[in-house]
Structure 1
């Protein structure tokens, strides 16, 4: 009898269980080998679909294919529990347990039983063990038959036990590395890595079978990086031939770029690159990354930025220099919502939902641009689509652009993930910003290397780069929009261009509307996160054209314009916020030193409601104290609000203020994420409560972590948002194409394009749009799009749902 893993849609060809298990094992081994866990990952691949060796699954899949309308298709045949149960039975029962084999069974077994959803809790807040419920307590009628088939057709018992011994040896080596970390923390990251390897191996092999490919060609990253490095050096040499090459700013940029090149020869580690704003850090960091990747055989270069706004700008700049449109991936957002995915009852079949699951979304490109949200989601958020990427973050050069924008609540989680990447994953990490945060000031410190700073004589460089003067208006009086509009009018008598950055979208929109009435002659531009990336970038191109032509212009924006957007205004007005935001705003003024020292005005805007923007609110309060200190004593902090002393003071006070939030505290559980993920059998733990409640000696497990609960509670931003495709320009064609029945590859390309045309909506916004009939869903509700009337060419999202889609700027 042929036991079936998958049936191909196009020709009804069968992939046997034996073929799928051995091919998934091979792929998982290749992913695990990167960090020395080849056999642990391979074991997960080898056993993940063991439950398909059953008559029940065979009859289910044949019936579902031959009779698509059959009720069987809607039923669920559990095939993911079998492999986890086998490991538990063989290595976690009996009087004389080998603790390492038992831990191996827990780690690998959890990944196997979870591969259609997300990692299970070993012990949950309601004092249940979903893991034990599956591997110990669940009755599996054909369990003995699956074991017989496995040992006859996939791997002999003797070879299997030898394979397990190799996996256990890897586990011991993994746990003895880095003595300062707890076993629980190590095992948490190990479990996530193996889970990532399994998810990607399973989906990749299934996709290759569906596309009728035995394997797929992948470029050699090392060869590409050598070519890229030569092209980058050619571009840098071309800069030296320009007429302004010997300007003060360009000489400084050139020196820092050369320092990055030299520093790249050092071994991988965690380093800081504190190039002042406008110092050319994108190309300087790329120079480091390409040389280091070539010397140390890295497979990926990953740029992680705070906002989607600058992904396309930076990626386009890099593409133009490296002359490659194929191997550079931009990952803006998750277009597909899969946090509640559990598709076991669909496995083996092929439909639009399965095509979405199999679409390539695993960060397998040589160069990747993505956001901090996506990076943190990869490690901590629920959804197999997120964690699938994790193994590809290993063996990488990772550049965190504007590192100060790590959300305060995620700092400990961020530090732990980056430390894991450094210690176990052979990654080299660059923390890139003009305002380095005090990430070693918190409890879970970042393992930054000694002599970590790449830029030499940093204090002198910062002084030499001074192009603006910060003018404190915030401690004098408050501003409203009327007063601010008048102030802008006054400035326009002195300068050609004014950029105003405010803290809330609503105040930005009101000021924009007010200025449109008052200023009929001067072009006024509006930017906010209510617009998709393609929309914002189109406006930014218009802004740059006006700036380059030297025309008068006003731009009103939220903080999205601050982090790395390459624009240079004569004058910047910034609503009071954290010092890091003020520094970034200053970087949009006289960016290239085109003029003498220009002014950046700090105001306190009384109409902004920051009650739901706690980080901005607290940052504003801390900044105001420092401004008052300087007003009272001009020599304080070197007399400069953006001095190293002032910034150190700012970050320490900010993190002290948020001391209870740094570990991602979950109020309803009265625990933080680090506890849920690395829990031990200590006092006041869930385990102690379990022992009291169950009147037992204890849970018969070595691990008692709550992986699933932690993932369900994790959101990088406070309120969960949903990505929605908008009908802006090409977005309309993308939405129309969602109805077509294309291949997995077609869908992969469509989803990648769709990222430029998405915005993130809060729950209340979705509800309001739904009531107004402003939404439409596709592919069983997995993808949501806005109807045309709900998106404005001027403001983006229109909750009134009465806009006409046209591109009007002023």
Structure 2
């Protein structure tokens, strides 16, 4: 009797449960080998769909395809509990061996969760979702499921031997000496196994649906070698340019060579503190390609703070490497991930199932994505995010502008990086002009003493000095009217002025005033209300004006100050953190085209920072340093952008937010943080202590709350939703294509294209659009799109926005 795992949509061919389990096991094993946990990952793959060995599921999936009118409701047949229960029954009852008992918890949690998200071992209400599933319930036909599995898939003797190997791997994993606690190690292992299972399951199902037996594996080293040759051709061509002998270009060349030399060092956590405009992108790529070839890495991943930086960095790299197919830009999750508790339909006619199977796993050789997406992989709810985690192993990961890690996420960021270094065999490069004091916090980054790639940083910074920062913030305050006058005044001396302010509403108002006041001068407004394709067009126009020496004014939020390659004669920056001021300075006289140019730091009285504490505190610390320098110009290294000033700034900044660094959750209790929910040992776990006092000892090794932590984790406070916009013919065609009847391969391609035509909207914006009939959806409501009337060529989404800080850029 053939039990059914899936039925192919095109020809109704059956994939048996045995075929699916063994194929997912093999694929999961290949992912697990990255961490030396081949059998732990394989065990999850082997048992994940054990519950499909039932007549009830066979009847359900058959009717879903052949007689949908009489099929049981979607999610009514539980098939994900049986595998977790088998592990619990065999290895978590009676006399329990510690490693096998832990194996039952780690792997069992991944199995029972593979259609939702990892369950809590102990919830805040002192109930255990894990125990409810594996101890307190019995799946349908369970008594027949187990012998059927042992008969058709793996004998019980072979199965127990396989578990023995997995237990040995777990022991070796836990015995590795790192600064992480056992709970922290097990939390990351559980998430890695869950990632490997989710991706192996979805990949095998997709291959079956596409009638493929396997996908050819890329020859990463050969590919990276080809990339390296192309990059070196480009770098060598710089020597033939007329400006190649300038002091700045000579220094850029030396630092690039230094980065290649450094690539021979073993994988670890390193810093690359090249000043703004020093060529970080290509220098770090040179380091990454050389290191990847030397140590056989599979991915080079750029993590940037804002979606806006992805566009330029990816375009620059793509232009040199000439390989669109293997370079992925991942701005945001276009598909809404419900992550509900229901079982999947496993019906290929179901759009949600097709979207889940679409390739979205970061298996590309070169990836550009954001800090939000990186942190979401480890900590946010939803299987779409965590599916990518295993591909962060065996990688070179470059964090561009790492000083922008959101304050509540600093400890979580450090622990994730430490895990990837210690267990994932990844090499980490913290790349920025202003290295933050990430080792100042309690959960420190594990860096060696010689982690900095660039020698004599103070001398390098001085050699790169191209601007003079002028303090206009400690004497007077500006409003938009007086700032407009100041901009017009500066235009008399400079051909181009860039103004960067802290809130979107003030930026928009200044732009509108300047459009009227600055006659015959092009005025540009940049905002994340404009999609990437649209923003690229505007930036190209801005660069053309700058290149030709035309007069031009640009008003922007902070989206322009990190990674966007523009060079204005004059920059005006509203007072903010020192790192923001340094980044703004990098948009002025970027290539040393002129003698020292001016960057004016002002205080804007119309910016409301009441609910933007990080910007407010950063602004106050910067102002104190400016006052110190005004009183005594020798303090803080005699320069607002010196290493000494930066160290003072970040130390004080993180001290101000000391209580916030572990992501506190005051709604759940005074001492509850996400760090504790995920990795506190039982002595520090308030829920466990309460359980013990009320019910006795919890019969589990782990008592952590993975699901609760994920439900409360948001990288930024204001959640946004991705919406595709009808910009230009391409955007309109994309939306039309998504509304058609598409297979999984088409959906993968279209969702990748959609990254360039997506903006992120706050809930109130969605509500207003919905009220005004400006919003539509496609793919059974899983993808939102703007109607044409709701998107303009000037402002993109043209809604009044008083949200303040431009959070939607993340």
Regarding TM over 0.5, the answer is yes
Provide the residue aligned with 1:90 in structure 2: 90
Q: CA offsets, 1:270-329, max 9 Å, x none? A: 000000000001000000000000000000000011111121211111111112121111
Q: Is the 8 A contact 1:111 1:194 kept in 2?
A: yes
1:38 aligns to 2:38 (yes or no): yes
Which segments of 5 or more consecutive residues in structure 1 lack a partner in the other structure? 802-810
Tell me, in whole angstroms, the C-alpha distance in 2 between the residues paired with 1:681 and 1:258.
50
Provide the residue aligned with 2:804 in structure 1: none
Tell me, in whole angstroms, the C-alpha distance in 2 between the residues paired with 1:767 and 1:646.
44
Tell me, in whole angstroms, the C-alpha distance in 2 between the residues paired with 1:113 and 1:248.
61
Tell me, in whole angstroms, the C-alpha distance in 2 between the residues paired with 1:339 and 1:508.
35
Provide the residue aligned with 2:747 in structure 1: 747
Question: Which deviates more from structure 2 when the two are superposed, residues 46-55 or residues 334-343?
Answer: 334-343
- Residue 798 of structure 1, CA deviation: 2.1
Provide the residue aligned with 1:679 in structure 2: 680
1:756 aligns to 2:759 (yes or no): no
Tell me, in whole angstroms, the C-alpha distance in 1 between the residues paired with 2:446 and 2:118.
28
Provide the residue aligned with 2:508 in structure 1: 509
Provide the residue aligned with 2:350 in structure 1: 351
- Residue 720 of structure 1, CA deviation: 1.5
- The SS at the match of 2:746 is helix
Provide the residue aligned with 2:468 in structure 1: 469
Provide the residue aligned with 1:808 in structure 2: none
Instruction: After TM superposition, list the pairs within 5 Å mapping 1:375-394 onto structure 2.
Output: 375-394=374-393
Q: Is the 8 A contact 1:572 1:585 kept in 2?
A: yes
Provide the residue aligned with 1:523 in structure 2: 522
TM-score by length of 1: 0.97
Tell me, in whole angstroms, the C-alpha distance in 2 between the residues paired with 1:71 and 1:509.
54
Provide the residue aligned with 1:307 in structure 2: 306
Provide the residue aligned with 1:371 in structure 2: 370
Which segments of 5 or more consecutive residues in structure 2 lack a partner in the other structure? 802-810
Q: Is the 8 A contact 1:522 1:553 kept in 2?
A: yes
- Residue 781 of structure 1, CA deviation: 2.2
Provide the residue aligned with 1:448 in structure 2: 447
Instruction: After TM superposition, list the pairs within 5 Å mapping 1:716-735 onto structure 2.
Output: 716-729=715-728, 730-735=730-735
- Residue 495 of structure 1, CA deviation: 0.7
- Residue 343 of structure 1, CA deviation: 4.9
Instruction: After TM superposition, list the pairs within 5 Å mapping 1:319-718 onto structure 2.
Output: 319-670=318-669, 671-682=672-683, 685-693=686-694, 696-718=695-717
- The SS at the match of 1:6 is strand
- The SS at the match of 1:18 is helix
Provide the residue aligned with 1:130 in structure 2: 129
- Residue 520 of structure 1, CA deviation: 2.2
Tell me, in whole angstroms, the C-alpha distance in 2 between the residues paired with 1:798 and 1:3.
54
Q: Is the 8 A contact 1:404 1:436 kept in 2?
A: yes
- The SS at the match of 1:479 is coil
Q: CA offsets, 1:641-682, max 9 Å, x none? A: 111111001001110111111111112113111000012221
Tell me, in whole angstroms, the C-alpha distance in 1 between the residues paired with 2:752 and 2:275.
33
Provide the residue aligned with 2:805 in structure 1: none
- Residue 179 of structure 1, CA deviation: 4.3
Tell me, in whole angstroms, the C-alpha distance in 1 between the residues paired with 2:341 and 2:588.
50
1:11 aligns to 2:5 (yes or no): no
Question: Which deviates more from structure 2 when the two are superposed, residues 519-528 or residues 13-22?
Answer: 519-528
Q: Is the 8 A contact 1:679 1:685 kept in 2?
A: no
Question: Which deviates more from structure 2 when the two are superposed, residues 724-733 or residues 521-530?
Answer: 724-733
Q: CA offsets, 1:562-591, max 9 Å, x none? A: 111000000000000000000000000000
Q: Is the 8 A contact 2:496 2:552 kept in 1?
A: yes
Question: Which deviates more from structure 2 when the two are superposed, residues 302-311 or residues 2-11?
Answer: 302-311
Q: CA offsets, 1:226-263, max 9 Å, x none? A: 11111111111111111111111100000000000100
Tell me, in whole angstroms, the C-alpha distance in 1 between the residues paired with 2:437 and 2:140.
57
- Residue 435 of structure 1, CA deviation: 0.2
Provide the residue aligned with 2:66 in structure 1: 66
Q: Is the 8 A contact 1:523 1:554 kept in 2?
A: yes
Question: Which deviates more from structure 2 when the two are superposed, residues 140-149 or residues 285-294?
Answer: 140-149
- Residue 146 of structure 1, CA deviation: 0.7
- The SS at the match of 1:400 is strand
Q: Is the 8 A contact 2:339 2:383 kept in 1?
A: no
Tell me, in whole angstroms, the C-alpha distance in 1 between the residues paired with 2:520 and 2:347.
63
Provide the residue aligned with 2:793 in structure 1: 793
Tell me, in whole angstroms, the C-alpha distance in 2 between the residues paired with 1:614 and 1:763.
21
Tell me, in whole angstroms, the C-alpha distance in 1 between the residues paired with 2:105 and 2:438.
33
What value does the CA root-mean-square deviation take over the aligned residues? 1.2
- The SS at the match of 1:453 is coil
Q: Is the 8 A contact 2:344 2:353 kept in 1?
A: no
- The SS at the match of 2:139 is coil
- Residue 727 of structure 1, CA deviation: 1.4
Q: CA offsets, 1:475-511, max 9 Å, x none? A: 0110000000000111011010000000011000000
- The SS at the match of 1:137 is coil
- The SS at the match of 2:594 is coil
- Residue 415 of structure 1, CA deviation: 0.1
Q: Is the 8 A contact 1:57 1:79 kept in 2?
A: yes
Q: Is the 8 A contact 2:115 2:344 kept in 1?
A: no
Q: Is the 8 A contact 1:61 1:349 kept in 2?
A: no
Instruction: After TM superposition, list the pairs within 5 Å mapping 1:196-345 onto structure 2.
Output: 196-345=195-344
